[in-house]
Structure 1
Amino acid sequence: MSPCGWAFRLSEVLDVGVVVLGQDRRIDFANRRARRLLDVGSDTELEQAWIRIQPELAPLFDRAVPGASSPVEGSVPTGPSPEAAALRIQVYVIDEDEYSGHLLLLKNADRADAIDASLRHATRNRNLGPLYRDHAHDLKGAMNVIAMNVELLARRNDGDSSQSDMTVRSAVVRRELNRLDRTLDVVLNSHPVERESPQVYDLGLLCRSLFELVAPRASRQHVRLDLALPSGRLDLDGFPDRIHDALLNLLVTSLDAMTEGGTLKVTVERSTAARVYVCHTGPGLEADKLSELWCLHDSSKARGTGVGLYVTRMIVEAHGGRISYGPGPSGDSCFIVELPSPQPHSDL
């Protein structure tokens, strides 16, 4: 079956626009959904629309490579008007014996953004649920200690406690109240406010808050946490709530791999790009799984959804960054996130 033939078959079952380009980057096939998204009817209108948006796609074509496990993605306007709808376009390279060119998948950008937001929220809730249970156990333990010491303090009226004993019990209650306060702060800060526009945020502070969030689970699994941050602030431009979700996915994935203990180390480096190394001593991925690591619905876990790492890649690339997986400096398994253009500190 020719590429245009299988593209037609594919387009009949998927609610996306499908465009096949030849080696000359001219349209060989466009399904009905693609024509509706481009707001064209005839082949002549289709060619004119393609000539209009092709320059916007040039950077995507430059980045697309054969055999990539994930597409190159970007958004382009459908027309010159500021009110024109935008399209989310994914670019795949076709490099087969019988055909060479590109496959483009088109979606309405607003609709695609809404779907991405739903995936982010679902992944966040899936990650936070078990972590909240671990924090709830900590809260319950603190409350039990407070209740016991309050009961002992109450006996002072009966003359059963010395002044020194009362001082010790009071200190214990104050300590546990502080512990409660810290735990509640961690829980409250674990669900960052969604931002409508980018802002400057401190990547080091964000990583520190994530470590506090996963600390109870790491303790329960006998996993040692190690955080290495550069001195001073490391300010980046972006959406801190989304970067929070992306890095939390990596931490949870790493903890999932260390059910019998180990070490989880996060190293943040300041360079031409900010780099975050999330390394763990659990089992690594098999080589035949690496090509599908970032694909939607692909998971090596028995009950995994295959959404977490896909969402992580989506968030990192939307920030102009890159993510990879491989052996770390000590031979352990390591996710490497690169985020561009660390900014000098400025007050918003």
Structure 2
Amino acid sequence: MPNLAPVHAGLLRETVPGERRVVLTPEDVGSLLTRLTISFERGCGTAAGYEDEAYIAAGAQPANRETIARDCNLLVSIRKPLDVRGFAGSPTLIFLGSPLDASEPVTRSLLLDLARLEGIADAGSMDVATRQATICGYAAVLEGARKLGIGHPMLVMDGSQARPVKMAALGAGAAAMQAIATAKRLGALTYLFGFTDDERERAELLGAKFVTMDPALRHSRAFTGDALIAASRKQLAGQLREMQLIVSSTGSAAGTAPILIDDASLPLLTTGTVIIDLEAAAGGNCAMTKPDEIVARNGIRILGTTTLASIDAQQSSRLFSEGVRRLLERVTTPDGRLRIDGRDLLTRHLIGERFVGESAAS
């Protein structure tokens, strides 16, 4: 696609309930102003500890949402804006996509979804999805400890004896590995339920016990077919009986998370068990999960929070902002024009297939 006019970026205030992060910090705004004009919506960083005065001092221009929607040709936010059709023209949008996003409206806007960079080699700090997942894994264990009524170390008092909590991770991504590392440091006995030798190696490096699932079910990220899902549930139901804390983060390429703990499995868990379902936005790994709610069944509590990364909003925002800054430096020229190169592999991942041919021809 042809290069656009000089970029005027708009920094939006988040509107999703519970979302306290901000997409760019004043420090990174200051770095970008050598090549871009940036306006910010008043109050965009307040919940993350960044006041309007800091953005003004960095050189950004305060504006209301209506002015940003009218004047800016590039919009950045943590979550995808809910009111895309309210923006003038066809602005480029940079955001971290979520299964909770509304269906994409008919628009000529260029959508740069940061979720598409997750796990991509050479993305570095631009892979904000992996960085935020790591934060969620850490926060999940701390939240689980609070719900269990324990602190540091993760011990449960049983009469006159103190015994460590047993924590299980379902999944093998950044969130699961960080959850294991955090729980281990807090004194828990940690377990990873997985399929591959690579997962075993990573779990054991963190000091977790690796529980091998049926070798016939080795495609842990595929979960295709009712028989495969049912077999996984049956095996897990028996293995999870002794766990007090379960952090679940098993996704699917199809977008909808596989149900690993169903209605029949739940009563088999120990009373008092806490499940932190990090796939709540994608439907959940537990059949009872509801986004941003706590569901209690048979003495089991299932947390479906989708804003765990906002618990430490300042640190999360700093890491997010670094990735967005580096991305903007990659897709803009030194004189501040948008440069989308469809021949660049990382850019192809970022924009998807919709604009690749057009941008490569520019």
- With the shorter chain as reference, the TM-score category is under 0.3
- Structure ID, larger Rg: 1
Q: Which has the higher contact order (CA 8 A, sep 6+)?
A: 2
TM-score (norm 2): 0.26
Q: Normalized per residue, which structure has more helix?
A: 1
